[in-house]
Chains A and B, each alone.
Chain A
Amino acid sequence: MATWHDYLKEQGHVPDWPYPIRYDQEQEIDADVLVIGGGIAGCWAAISAARQGLNVVLVEKGDTIRSGAGGPGCDHWCNAPANPLSNVDPDEWAEHMADRPYCNGIGIQIQCRENYDTLLELEQMGGKVRDTDDEYLGAEGRDDKTKFMISPRYTKVHSYVPDMVKPVTLKSNPDKKLNNVVIRVWGSTFKPALKKECKRLGVKIFDRVMVTSLLTENGAQGGRIVGATGVNNRTGEFMIFKSKVTILATAGAGSIWLISTELGGYSNMMSRTITGDGTVMAWKAGAELTTMEAAGVLRIATGLKHKWYTGAGDASYENVPLVDANGKRLPLPIQGWVDAGAMVPTPEVEKKIREGIMKGEYALPFYGDFPAMPEVERNATWKLMLGEESTTKIITKTFNDAGYDPGRDLLQSYRFIEGVSLAQWGEAGYGGSLLVDWNLKTTLDGLYAAGTQMFAPEDHSYAAATGRYAGRKAAAYARQVGEAKISREQVIREKARVYAPVKRSSGMDWKELHAGIARAMQYYCSEFKTESLLNMGLSTLSKIEKESVPLLFALDPHKLMRSLEDLSLLTYAQIIIHASLARKASSIPLNFRRIDYPTLDPPEWRKYLTIKLKNDKVKTGELPLAFWGNMKKQYEACNKDYTGVYKGK
């Protein structure tokens, strides 16, 4: 017996709610530094601020032990040009990586300068970053002295974006040696080590608390951030956090275009907890956002697409050669040493394979040919990369338990046979977010951002390095400012909003509301964007707000959290449409198509659009590309006091 209906059958009644219910009760917590979100960026921010001797509070919607996109694991420590095996200069590498439109040069510079120090600190805490057990002796990229495992990723070619692979010779690497900027790591050890370090440093952790709003000085939009409110998603208790400074380290909004629990559970690249709460609370407080019009293409693992992705299904991504059903090698690049970092096939290659399938030249399905790989490389891919990467650890375990042997068996790929995603199934959350300066301060006083809450975020080590940096900068700010005073009126208003769904026991449940929001986005904010469709989208979302939101009901604190997340998704969707209306041009790097403005990336539109609320009215603005200036100079000017790897206790 373990399912709910088993319990009902055996006990004759449904289980009682397992936690005490504390609706409406308040708990007030004081902090110098409040960190919202206990994922990779949030943990690092909390650790970094606590090392400055400040009173740090960390609030996390799940449990800090495994929460966040990097919670289950991480297999690559990317953009680490300061590592001793690197053949490139960190500043030159950072500039090169930032030579992509609509990226975040500030974050990339911080990552390239500081993420190797961050990695060494992680090792001090107990994270495994070297092959200390000599498991992969003889693997390409393994350095016998340091026992670091260099990854083939970016060793020669590096681009996630088709058509944007530029052959480049770096001044610091004139002989074109392998760049050696990415390190393979044992990331499943990271999150428990980070939580342990937070606790050791006296960070007060509030797990299972969803932060619902930011509090501003005098309750005014655009004012200094002086704290936040939250609700415990097990007890329903209301939390009031007062802080001198706040760091936003929450996630994007993954499933705004799609919800499907029936086909494969909430199987998704990003879990249901990723609902854009942080971006939305900052927006309501008056913070300026950018790149919100950027959209991704829904790729894998949505119940509609297969979960066994990339190395565990579409091996073109993770070192493994792909073959057709007759064993014929496909011309897809692999990201291994053979192709030295190429990640995405060119459109020409994609077309050639598709035509080959139709003509019978390639037989479906395709397979990852693990047996063809040298043993040590196969193990490094199957056991280390897939074994340590976020959600693939359980995938490789399931295969192993079922009898799969990578030395003997081909792993099926779902490319082509599962079809392409409908263009209507977009994906948000990895483009737009808060505008930050070189201190990672947002446009609001008292509010800093890290990881995915910075616009155009990158990967795990980016979250770690920027979290660590934001913690340092926010701590310095906290030392300079006085006590914060919160507005009781603002708290009372937020309490009324938060508890509205638990005051009803019927009406509309959170899943229906989510599906309604997703449908509005599919119809009105898809590849067929026009002024009138986008405006219809705004009207539809506004109708949902007026007619459906007042019906939302939640039977317990967990469903209350899901309901509040829907309200975040609803506002997030509205921000996306406002930003989409503001960009009157199409763009390849933003994956943004306007039928009424079809010209792709015209020179006058190559700029960031910013968007914020002022007196509850939407205001847009703009910034030039690379508005952050000279990356090396700006970084150095802001970090004269940087002391490198932590040497304190």
Chain B
Amino acid sequence: MSQGKISAVPNVATPSAPVVFNPDICDGCNTCVEVCQIDVFMPNPEKGKPPIILHPDECWYGGCCVNDCPRPGAITFKWPLPLRGYWKNKATGEIHQI
């Protein structure tokens, strides 16, 4: 349980995070900020840090941020729960989901 200060904030946007940054890999180059068609991100005020996801609800899952990232693994797509696809192992019949 969070022991920190609790602020009064409105509900966060849904979905709140269409992508996840790995701060150990991301060097804050902001390529993703530039290639995003709809300006989902803003550069982090602190240089070298991952961008901030400012407009997560506008993400249309075009994928350019991940596709063009020069540091693979720095950004991972996090599909909203209702959009996670399924597949089935043809031999065993086992069902999987993203």
Binding site for B on A (CB under 8 A): 1-5, 7-9, 12, 15-16, 18, 62-63, 65-68, 71-72, 188, 208, 233-234, 261-268, 270-273, 301, 303, 306-308, 312-313, 327, 365, 367, 369, 371, 390-391, 393-395, 397-399, 401-404, 408-412, 558, 562
Whether B88 contacts A267 by the Cβ 8 Å rule is no
Contacts of B62 in A (CB 8 A): 66, 71-72, 271, 390-391, 394
| Cα A632 to Cα B18 with chains together (Å) | 49
Residue in contact with B63 in the complex, picked from A306, A397, A562, CB distance below 8 Å:
A397
Which of B16, B76, B80 is the most central at the interface, judged by chain A CB atoms within 10 Å of its CB? B80
28 contacts between A and B (CB under 8 A): A2-B21, A2-B50, A3-B52, A4-B56, A15-B45, A18-B42, A62-B39, A68-B37, A71-B37, A261-B13, A261-B57, A261-B58, A263-B80, A301-B61, A303-B80, A303-B83, A307-B79, A308-B85, A313-B85, A391-B61, A394-B77, A398-B79, A398-B85, A399-B87, A402-B96, A402-B98, A411-B85, A411-B87
Shortest Cβ distance from A562 into B: residue: B58
Binding site for A on B (CB under 8 A): 4-5, 7, 9, 12-21, 23, 34-39, 42-43, 45, 49-64, 66-68, 76-77, 79-80, 82-83, 85-91, 96, 98
Contact A267 B89, CB 8 Å, known A5-B9, A393-B63, A558-B39: no
Specify the main secondary structure of chain A where it touches its partner. Answer: loop
Whether B90 contacts A408 by the Cβ 8 Å rule is yes
Specify the main secondary structure of chain B where it touches its partner. Answer: loop
Whether B37 contacts A267 by the Cβ 8 Å rule is no
Contacts of B19 in A (CB 8 A): 2
Contacts of A5 in B (CB 8 A): 9, 12, 16
Whether A265 contacts B18 by the Cβ 8 Å rule is yes
Residue in contact with B38 in the complex, picked from A8, A271, A403, A411, CB distance below 8 Å:
A271
Whether B67 contacts A72 by the Cβ 8 Å rule is yes
Contacts of B34 in A (CB 8 A): 63, 65
| Cα A327 to Cα B54 with chains together (Å) | 45
Contact A409 B39, CB 8 Å, known A265-B60, A265-B80, A394-B67: no
Contact A233 B59, CB 8 Å, known A267-B80, A404-B96: no
Whether B88 contacts A367 by the Cβ 8 Å rule is yes
Whether A265 contacts B64 by the Cβ 8 Å rule is no
Whether A8 contacts B39 by the Cβ 8 Å rule is no
| Cα A365 to Cα B85 with chains together (Å) | 12
Whether A409 contacts B88 by the Cβ 8 Å rule is yes
A67-B37, A233-B39, A265-B80 known; 11 other A-B pairs, CB under 8 Å? A3-B52, A5-B12, A9-B7, A66-B68, A262-B57, A264-B61, A265-B57, A265-B60, A313-B85, A397-B63, A558-B55
Whether A272 contacts B38 by the Cβ 8 Å rule is yes
